[in-house]
Amino acid sequence: MTELILGVLTFLTSTVAGVVGIGGGMMLIAILPSFLPLNALIPVHGLTQMSSNFSRAVFGYKDVQYEVIPKFLLGSIVGIGIFAAIINFISLEYVPLFIGAYILLSLWSQKFNDKIKKFENYYIIGFFQTGLSIIVGATGPLTMTILLKDYKDKDKVVATGAALMSITHILKVFVFMYFGFVFFDYIGIIVAMIIGAVAGSWAGTQLRDKIDGKRFTIILKVLLTALAIKVIVDVFI
C-alpha cells in the first residue's frame, strides 16, 4: 500500500514539475518523512528526482540547450567533491537563508542583477546547486532562476533545467552509494516512485503546451518566490 501511495504522489508532484519545471521535488520531500526514515529521505528522494528530471529532459530533448551542460557539469563535479569532503566540518545551518535571498533578489531586483551579472554563470551555479544538494533540499531553484533570465521560451527553460538537475541528482546518488547507503533496501518503494516520476514527466510535458509563454513566466516567478520564502522561513522555525 505504501508503494502505491508513494507512486501516485510522485506522479502528481512530477506532473507539476513537468508543467513549470520546478516545485515537484520540494513537494515530494515534504511528504516523504511520513513514509520513510530520516536516513533514507534524501537518498531515495534524490534517486526519484533523478528519474523525474532525466525523463523530463528526454521528453523535451529538442529544447535542451546543450551548450550550458559542460559548464554546469564541471562546476557540479568540483562542488560535490568539495562539499562531500567538508560536510562534517562546517555548519550549513544558514545556507538555505542565502539561497532564498539570492532567488528573491535575482527575480525582483534589477539593481542586484546588474551587479551580479559578471559573477553569475553555469560553473558557479553547478558548483553550489550540486554541492549543496547533499544536505539542502532547495537548490533546484538556482538553475531555474538563471535559465529564466537567459531563455524566454518555456520549453527551453524546463527541458534545460531538467537536464541540469539530472546531473545534480545523478552525482548526489553516487555520493550516497559511496557513503554506503543501500538503495536495494527500499527497492519496492523506489520502483513505484520511479514509475510515477516518469509517468508524471510525460503528463506534465503534455500539459505544458496548454500554457502560453507569458503566463508560464508569471507562474514560474510566483512559484520560485513562494519556494524562496519557504526556504527562508524554515531556517527560523
Is 191 in contact with 44 (CB distance < 8 Å)?
A: no
Give the model confidence (pLDDT) of 198-226 as tens digits. Answer: 999 999 999 888 888 778 878 888 888 88
pLDDT at 81: 92
23: left (phi over 0), alpha (psi -120 to 50) or beta: left
Long-range pairs for 40-44: beta carbons < 8 A, 24 or more residues apart: 40/181, 40/185, 40/186, 42/134, 42/135, 42/137, 42/172, 42/176, 43/173, 43/176, 43/181, 43/183, 44/183, 44/186, 44/189, 44/190, 44/193
- Report, as ranges of residue numbers, the positions in the chain whose pLDDT lies below 70: 90, 92, 136-138
pLDDT at 92: 66
pLDDT at 149: 87
Q: How far apart are CA 64 and CA 139, in angstroms?
A: 20
pLDDT at 137: 59
pTM: 0.85
Give the model confidence (pLDDT) of 37-66 as tens digits. Answer: 878 888 898 899 999 999 999 999 999 999
